[in-house]
Amino acid sequence: MRKINVFDTTLRDGEQSAGVNLNFEEKLEIAQQLERLGVDIIEAGFPASSQGDFRAVKAIADTVKGSSVTGLSRSLEKEIDISWEALKGGAEPRIHVFLATSPIHMTHKLRMTPDEVVETAVASVKYAAKRFPIIQWSAEDACRSDLDFLVRIIEQVIDAGASVINIPDTVGYITPKEITHIFTYLRENVPNIHKAQLSAHCHDDLGLAVANSLAAIEAGADQVECTVNGIGERAGNASLEEIAVALKIRGDAYKAETGLTLNEIKRTSSLVSKLTGMIVPNNKAVVGNNAFAHESGIHQDGVLKEKTTYEIITPELVGVSSNRMVLGKHSGRHAFKEKIKELGYTATDEQLNKVFKAFKELADKKKEITEDDIFALMTDEKIGAAVKYYEVHTLQVNYGTTNIPTATITMRTPNDEVVEEAATGSGSVEAIYNTLERIIDSPVKLLDYRIQSITGGRDALAEVFVKVLYDGTESTGRGTAHDVLEASAKAYINAVNRIVNRKMREEETETEVHI
């Protein structure tokens, strides 16, 4: 079996999904889970784009040692310098430099001649080679580029020091047959191609990202770039989990495999979905809730007799649990701590104490506590605790079909005052949000509101996702609780807190020395 390197760009290209804005703590949590998944390369961000991105990329590079961490850079010396400062503490520092090569990009975006593009690309790779041991060079919009021009520029950037050459289908335009031709042509016509690995980066605008990535692997790609749940710009990127499982299940056809720990796939998918607010469709391949569900009587009969009649992927392969009760109201602290470790979490004693308390409170209300419940509680504590400026202490809602819904809330403000306020609304949630807005004493516009259950059943935990506009900034927020209204309040305050946190970070970095 040929080994295919998995280049995960969830934290860079994936975060460019509309409405997604991960904070520092969330990026670090996802990076550590990607490391547990066994991803070869983590593209942690674009260090030169902002102080926030620089800080996150640096922290990930300094923390993650089981995966190579990289950052994106344009072909500019200043950006390459910034990337080095962010990535130099990594176990295997590498840089991802790109430049467009298609006629439409060179003419209308870069306003450069082909000769100037070649010169710029070669110069940037040579400059990066002074510091970085591994350089990946990408030909942006390669799949709409002239093949002979690609041959020319790739040969020269390899001579300049690039050891990975990425061929992106930037706009999701290519077909499997065409991408096969491109990779075959490059392998046959670039004289020094043996000195570099070929990589594929496919977008899903026509729904062909996974098919194109697999076709590229068949045509000789050594690396595939993808995101968890296929998130990304516009229609998204190639889905990591679909590619990995396709190579596993159809190893006979592809003769290639990844080094991923496949039973971490479901947990990784759930974490990314929760932190980005991008819900995984039920019919999503590999990780959707219906991926292993059988509704048809004929299918059910076949599966009961022999699973392989209708099930080519076992749930256990990707880490899907049976949702049986894992802990109960009589479970002790030690058993709870062991379950947290089993789920792959590392937590401080303070975090464990807080989550254990929340677990006990939930166990008094909910008959069965599942791994999904514990996952939700732990994620909320590890991520949400980092941005608590406003905090709801008490919440009471009066509602009746003939009454005006009224919410009364007691909340701690950033200056440690405890404020009580009440307001009405056309519904319970609106009453809560009107009350919170009064306490915050500044306009907050609700842009999106979504609710789902963590598990099934009447006693399921509720998870609310919101998007708000506050103080001129858009932000998303999440809240989890046994009660829908409490979860709604938590999500709203989480969104506001994230904006406050971001602005405080910006104020702190204003006095920092810029690279």
Judgement on whether residues 101 and 205 belong to the same structural domain of the protein: yes
Q: Is 109 part of a structural domain of the chain?
A: yes
Residue scoring higher pLDDT (457 or 16): 16
The SS3 call for residue 448 is strand
Judgement on whether residues 340 and 463 belong to the same structural domain of the protein: no
Residue 478 forms beta bridges with which residues?
465
Q: Is 514 part of a structural domain of the chain?
A: no
Judgement on whether residues 59 and 82 belong to the same structural domain of the protein: yes
pLDDT in tens, 371-408: 778 877 877 776 665 567 899 999 999 999 899 999 99
Residue 174 has pLDDT above 90, yes or no: yes
Judgement on whether residues 316 and 250 belong to the same structural domain of the protein: no
DSSP result, 96-155: EEEEE-SHHHIIIII---HHHHHHHHHHHHHHHTTT-SEEEEEEETGGGS-HHHHHHHHH
With bands split at pLDDT 50, 70 and 90, how would you rate the model's confidence at 167? very high
Judgement on whether residues 303 and 351 belong to the same structural domain of the protein: no
Token pair in block for residue 360: 């006990």
Average pLDDT score over residue span 315-333? 76
Phi/psi for 93 (5° steps) reads -60, 135
Judgement on whether residues 503 and 371 belong to the same structural domain of the protein: no
Phi/psi for 406 (5° steps) reads -135, 135
Provide the residue range defining the domain that includes 338: 333-380
Residue 182 has pLDDT above 90, yes or no: yes
Average pLDDT score over residue span 82-99? 97
pLDDT attached to residue 304: 54
pTM, two decimals, is 0.88
Q: Is 419 part of a structural domain of the chain?
A: yes
| CATH code of residue 468 | 3.30.160.270
| CATH code of residue 238 | 3.20.20.70
Judgement on whether residues 358 and 313 belong to the same structural domain of the protein: no
Phi/psi for 230 (5° steps) reads 70, 25
Judgement on whether residues 445 and 466 belong to the same structural domain of the protein: yes
Contact in structure between 412 and 390 (CB atoms under 8 Å): yes
Q: Is 392 part of a structural domain of the chain?
A: yes
Judgement on whether residues 224 and 302 belong to the same structural domain of the protein: no
Q: Is 286 part of a structural domain of the chain?
A: no
Average pLDDT score over residue span 444-460? 88
Residue scoring higher pLDDT (178 or 293): 178
Judgement on whether residues 132 and 89 belong to the same structural domain of the protein: yes
With bands split at pLDDT 50, 70 and 90, how would you rate the model's confidence at 507? low
Nearest to 500 by CA among 431, 450, 440, 449: 440
Q: What is the mean pLDDT of the chain?
A: 90
Residue 76 has pLDDT above 80, yes or no: yes
Residue scoring higher pLDDT (349 or 308): 349
Residue 88 has pLDDT above 60, yes or no: yes
How far is CA 120 from its chain centroid?
32
Token pair in block for residue 181: 């031709």
Q: Is 513 part of a structural domain of the chain?
A: no
Q: Which helix (H) or strand (E) holds 469?
A: strand 462-470
Phi/psi for 169 (5° steps) reads -95, 75
pLDDT in tens, 199-231: 999 999 999 999 999 999 999 999 999 999 999
pLDDT attached to residue 298: 46
CA 397/CA 429 separation, integer angstroms = 9
The SS3 call for residue 20 is coil
Count up the domains in the chain and report the number: 4
Judgement on whether residues 218 and 96 belong to the same structural domain of the protein: yes
CA 508/CA 287 separation, integer angstroms = 40
CA 436/CA 422 separation, integer angstroms = 8
Nearest to 455 by CA among 361, 377, 384, 395: 377
Lowest average pLDDT, out of 12-16, 74-78, 265-269, 474-478, goes to 474-478
Judgement on whether residues 249 and 342 belong to the same structural domain of the protein: no
Q: Is 208 part of a structural domain of the chain?
A: yes
Helices vs strands, H then E, count in the chain: 17, 16
pLDDT attached to residue 511: 36
